[in-house]
Chains A and B, each alone.
Chain A
Amino acid sequence: MTRTVFTLFAAVLALAPAAPLRAADSGGTTVTISQGVDADTLNPLSKTVTPLNNVVQHFYERLADFGNRSGEFVPLLATSWKRVNPTTEEYKLRRGVTFSNGDPFTSADVKFSVEWIKDKSHASEQTPFVRDIDRVETPDPYTVRFVSKVPTAIPPGLQQPIFIVDAKYFQEKGAAYVGEHPVGTGPYVLREWRRDDQLIMDVNPKWWGGRPKIDHVVFKPIPEAAARVAALRTGATDLITNVPPQYYIQITGGQNTKLASTRSLRQLFIAFNTLQPGPQQNKLVRQAINYAVDVPAIVKNVLGGRGYELTSPIPPNYFGYDASVPGYKHDLAKAKALLAKAGYPDGKGISLVVNAPIGRYNRDREVAEAVSGQLQAVGIAATVKPQEWVSYSSMVGRRALSPLYELGWNQPSADADGVVTSLFTSSGPLSCYSNPEVDKLADQARGELNVAKRKALYKQIATILHEDAPWIVLFEYEDLYGTSKRLHFQPRGDEAIRAYEMSVS
């Protein structure tokens, strides 16, 4: 037996991977970032998840990026753009930019990137991002035109700007190779990637944007929130994402740690499935429920105050918000009166299921439980049905969750278009609401090039949505990050983490 044990021990040592490279070995400043999951692939044209985008945006760049305010863009690989006719947007590209392998960046790379995503055989998850682009024209190496079938208010290519890859390199090496060996125009280049362990990048000395203050960036994924917090407290990492409320005190009370927060563009709501039979098809019931729910109390007690009450599905930090559209203030008397008027005095005869995902959004299940508790105050028998996200999301897509279901939505463009088209039109992929008037107005707004007129259209839509109440409008989150005290990091509403905008002291 002793011999067996020693043989095993020897085998273990032989198989043990060599000690990983330490980024700090090479000098310069290093920042370690811990998200919950590792990047899936470093091919930037196939996936859509935030933690992955946070990694690849250090290697690759877009034509333009969302600014801090809605409708504002920061030029990156494009220096300017203009509408040459209602269906054509022309971009002037930045000159003298090279990929990290030395290849020059030209319009051919933009055309290739868009067309790669559009090619159905690649099964890219980004197809909705280039849906409006019908074709790409490249009149010269530094000009590219996106042509759409119908006019769209947001220029085609800017609803959700895509990353641009090196066409020549991508074609030569293939997507699988590129997935492990990124070559982009961005501020960093990959040094080493050990899956699920760490991904180390070094500054790209040839970057057109100048030298970032951080020389080396390490992405070190840690799936468990508690373990992420422990890693931050021990100094093993400088920045952690998705901090649950129960750890706030540990982080603010830590000697070398602090919280960083910002108002998110992600709102949480509970929608009525108005396509399925039930009391939720009655507008008065929907209004009554909106009066019965006390959103400020939920924000205070369930989110520890880390949220912002909303009055409309179009939030104040989105284009299309109008402060004059009223919301529902918590009012039990009004709720009871409306229920009586609808034929359900004291809520008798209404029993509702609130469907909710587990662990997809911060406090998702707890919020649904709070809402159902508040509904009981007006006599409505409400129960929560929590479900695991994968099966939940496919049921949302099939419109199979009824009568109530909770969902979150983050619109990085901060424009009402995404919310209204996806969530309130009859053909919207996640809509359980159908109103021909809203459909018509949404289409109009989508193609309206005059900003003031477009804003007025969204005000009309918001007013109808208030009256019709197809949702229980809840709140926008406050996103919380834990960071080391030496790190200067300004969080963004779209959940993007950018080492090239950070510094350390």
Chain B
Amino acid sequence: MTAYLGRRAFGALWAVIGVAIVVFVILHITGDPAAVMMPPESTQAEIDAFRHAQGFDRPLIVQFASFAASAAHGDMGSSLRHQEPAMGLAIQRLPATIELAGCAFLIVALVGVPAGVLSALRPRTWIDYTARVIALIGQSAPTYWIGLMLILLFAVRLGWFPASGIGDWRNLALPAATLGFFSTAKIMRLTRSAMLEVLDADFMRTARAKGLTAVRVSLGHGLRNAWLPIVTQLGVELGTLLSGAIITETVFAWPGVGRLAVQAVFERDFPVVESVVLLTATIFVVLNLVVDLLYAVLDPRIRYA
């Protein structure tokens, strides 16, 4: 087990380093930020002086070497826009993103899985059809549009929730619903098909033949055996929710990591983009590892050596 963990951690480290290199190269080949940051009336000499002071006039490989050297010491450089340590800015916004993604994940797990199970147990009934139509909408409507519609209905028309910003639980409701909608739909469909597959299995017939209650048959035997793909997907979804709140955070003016990332990309604030990507990549990789370890807990037949 320890050896396995060591191997996986080593692999994860390389994945994060790979991400860092790709992001660095992609950012820098799109041009340097001097022309955008300086005011329009700047002369070429003024722009060049700015570029020199920021070190953007050095060859790409030299810039990368100095980036890698400081990154290895945990220093991602200073934000061009805020003139503060870039990683600090990203970490500062992490709690807001975790709060939003965590609530969205609860919606995904507590609505998506039960709805999928019900839908599979009662195929071709109104429950099934309603769940499937909602899933279809969730999977096909853009997050941006859903967010705006929720704002118009629940904030402007009904006045139940604030339209934007962070605060108490009421501020959380609309963005969490928006963010969780797509993943809920996905988990629901996945749960439904996974359940349908096991419902006809021999052990299910045996369980029923033993005289177990319908609930115990479907949850204790059915869901228990359909779990693996669902848990894998839940893990992936949690990672996506944590790193993919960009649109939701922008629409709802939520002060999280995603919004910081969008602004940083628009303004070519390289250190911040690099920090955000590294941070979310790390979260994603760690979550994946946790999911893999969960397998052994959920299915005793799986053992890591």
Within 8 A of B (CB), among A204-227: 220-224, 226-227
Within 8 A of A (CB), among B38-89: 38-44, 46-47, 49-50, 52-54, 81-84, 89
Tell whether, in the assembled complex, residue A196 and residue B93 are in contact, meaning their CB atoms are under 8 Å apart. yes
A197–B251 alpha-carbon span in the complex (Å)? 13
Q: Mark B166-201, 1 if CB is under 8 A from A, else 0.
A: 111000000000000000000000000000000000
A5–B114 alpha-carbon span in the complex (Å)? 14
Q: Mark A7-18, 1 if CB is under 8 A from B, else 0.
A: 011011001110
A496 at the interface (CB under 8 A from B): no
A41 at the interface (CB under 8 A from B): yes
Chain A's nearest CB lies how many Å from the CB of B31?
5
Residue of A nearest to B290 (CB): A4
Q: Count B interface residues, CB 8 Å.
A: 66
B105 at the interface (CB under 8 A from A): yes
CB neighbours of B105 from chain A (8 A): 8
Chain B's nearest CB lies how many Å from the CB of A255?
12
Within 8 A of B (CB), among A273-316: none
Contacts A8-B102, A397-B35, A397-B47 hold; do A227 and B89 have CB atoms under 8 A apart? no
Q: Which of B124-132, B147-155, B274-282 contacts A (4 or more CB under 8 A)?
A: B147-155
B95 at the interface (CB under 8 A from A): yes
B99 at the interface (CB under 8 A from A): yes
Contacts A195-B255, A390-B31, A430-B40 hold; do A231 and B99 have CB atoms under 8 A apart? no
CB neighbours of A74 from chain B (8 A): none
Chain A's nearest CB lies how many Å from the CB of B232?
13
Residue of A nearest to B49 (CB): A120
CB neighbours of A236 from chain B (8 A): 162-165
Q: Which of B2-10, B17-25, B260-268 contacts A (4 or more CB under 8 A)?
A: B260-268
Q: Mark B238-276, 1 if CB is under 8 A from A, else 0.
A: 000000000000111101100110110011100000000
What is the interface of chain B, defined by CB distance below 8 A to chain A?
A: 30-33, 35-44, 46-47, 49-50, 52-54, 81-84, 89, 92-93, 95-96, 98-99, 102-103, 105-106, 109-110, 148, 151-152, 155-156, 159, 162-168, 227, 231, 250-253, 255-256, 259-260, 262-263, 266-268
Residue of A nearest to B38 (CB): A125
A176 at the interface (CB under 8 A from B): yes
A107 at the interface (CB under 8 A from B): no
Chain B's nearest CB lies how many Å from the CB of A73?
19
What is the interface of chain A, defined by CB distance below 8 A to chain B?
A: 1, 5, 8-9, 11-12, 15-17, 19-20, 37, 40-41, 43, 46, 48, 120-123, 125-129, 131, 175-176, 179-180, 194-198, 220-224, 226-227, 230-231, 233-234, 236, 389-391, 393-394, 396-398, 409, 418, 421-422, 427, 429-430
Tell whether, in the assembled complex, residue B82 and residue A41 are in contact, meaning their CB atoms are under 8 Å apart. yes
A-B contact pairs, 28 of them (CB 8 A): A8-B102, A9-B102, A11-B98, A12-B98, A40-B81, A41-B81, A48-B38, A120-B49, A121-B53, A122-B53, A128-B43, A179-B83, A196-B260, A197-B96, A223-B262, A223-B263, A226-B148, A227-B252, A234-B156, A234-B159, A389-B266, A390-B266, A390-B267, A391-B31, A397-B47, A398-B35, A418-B41, A430-B40
Contacts A122-B53, A179-B83, A394-B35 hold; do A196 and B259 have CB atoms under 8 A apart? yes
Residue of B nearest to A220 (CB): B165
Chain A's nearest CB lies how many Å from the CB of B292?
15
CB neighbours of A393 from chain B (8 A): 35-36
CB within 8 Å: A-B pair count: 177
Contact of A220 among B43, B253, B260, B262 (CB under 8 A): B253
For the complex of A and B, list the 9 residue pairs with the smallest distance between their C-beta atoms, beginning with the closest.
A12-B102, A196-B255, A123-B53, A394-B35, A230-B163, A197-B255, A222-B253, A48-B39, A397-B35
Tell whether, in the assembled complex, residue B82 and residue A40 are in contact, meaning their CB atoms are under 8 Å apart. yes
CB neighbours of B49 from chain A (8 A): 120, 123, 127
A223–B264 alpha-carbon span in the complex (Å)? 13
Chain A's nearest CB lies how many Å from the CB of B233?
13
CB neighbours of A194 from chain B (8 A): 255
Tell whether, in the assembled complex, residue B46 and residue A224 are in contact, meaning their CB atoms are under 8 Å apart. no
A429–B35 alpha-carbon span in the complex (Å)? 11
Tell whether, in the assembled complex, residue B53 and residue A15 are in contact, meaning their CB atoms are under 8 Å apart. no
Contact of B164 among A16, A230, A396 (CB under 8 A): A230
Chain A's nearest CB lies how many Å from the CB of B26?
13
A233–B167 alpha-carbon span in the complex (Å)? 19
Tell whether, in the assembled complex, residue B110 and residue A5 are in contact, meaning their CB atoms are under 8 Å apart. yes
A131–B82 alpha-carbon span in the complex (Å)? 24
Tell whether, in the assembled complex, residue B103 and residue A226 are in contact, meaning their CB atoms are under 8 Å apart. no
CB neighbours of A19 from chain B (8 A): 167-168
Chain A's nearest CB lies how many Å from the CB of B264?
11
CB neighbours of B267 from chain A (8 A): 390
Given contacts A195-B92, A196-B260, A233-B163, 4 further A-B contacts (CB under 8 A): A128-B39, A196-B93, A234-B162, A429-B43
A41–B255 alpha-carbon span in the complex (Å)? 16
CB neighbours of B151 from chain A (8 A): 226-227, 230
A37–B36 alpha-carbon span in the complex (Å)? 16
A195–B79 alpha-carbon span in the complex (Å)? 14
A5–B260 alpha-carbon span in the complex (Å)? 28
A120–B266 alpha-carbon span in the complex (Å)? 25
Residue of B nearest to A37 (CB): B263
A210–B156 alpha-carbon span in the complex (Å)? 38
CB neighbours of A427 from chain B (8 A): 43
CB neighbours of A222 from chain B (8 A): 164-165, 253
Tell whether, in the assembled complex, residue A390 and residue B82 are in contact, meaning their CB atoms are under 8 Å apart. no
Tell whether, in the assembled complex, residue B41 and residue A422 are in contact, meaning their CB atoms are under 8 Å apart. yes
Tell whether, in the assembled complex, residue B163 and residue A231 are in contact, meaning their CB atoms are under 8 Å apart. yes
A362–B164 alpha-carbon span in the complex (Å)? 23
Tell whether, in the assembled complex, residue A227 and residue B164 are in contact, meaning their CB atoms are under 8 Å apart. yes
Tell whether, in the assembled complex, residue B40 and residue A429 are in contact, meaning their CB atoms are under 8 Å apart. yes
Residue of B nearest to A16 (CB): B99
Tell whether, in the assembled complex, residue B109 and residue A5 are in contact, meaning their CB atoms are under 8 Å apart. yes
Residue of A nearest to B55 (CB): A123
A465–B20 alpha-carbon span in the complex (Å)? 50
CB neighbours of B92 from chain A (8 A): 195
Residue of B nearest to A222 (CB): B253
CB neighbours of A234 from chain B (8 A): 155-156, 159, 162-163
Residue of B nearest to A359 (CB): B266
Chain B's nearest CB lies how many Å from the CB of A374?
27
Residue of B nearest to A127 (CB): B46
A222–B259 alpha-carbon span in the complex (Å)? 11
Chain A's nearest CB lies how many Å from the CB of B101?
9
Tell whether, in the assembled complex, residue B44 and residue A429 are in contact, meaning their CB atoms are under 8 Å apart. yes
Tell whether, in the assembled complex, residue B253 and residue A223 are in contact, meaning their CB atoms are under 8 Å apart. yes
CB neighbours of A176 from chain B (8 A): 83-84
A398–B43 alpha-carbon span in the complex (Å)? 11
A351–B151 alpha-carbon span in the complex (Å)? 45
CB neighbours of B96 from chain A (8 A): 17, 197
A372–B32 alpha-carbon span in the complex (Å)? 31
A222–B103 alpha-carbon span in the complex (Å)? 22
Which of A41, A125, A180, A421 has most B Cβ within 10 Å? A125
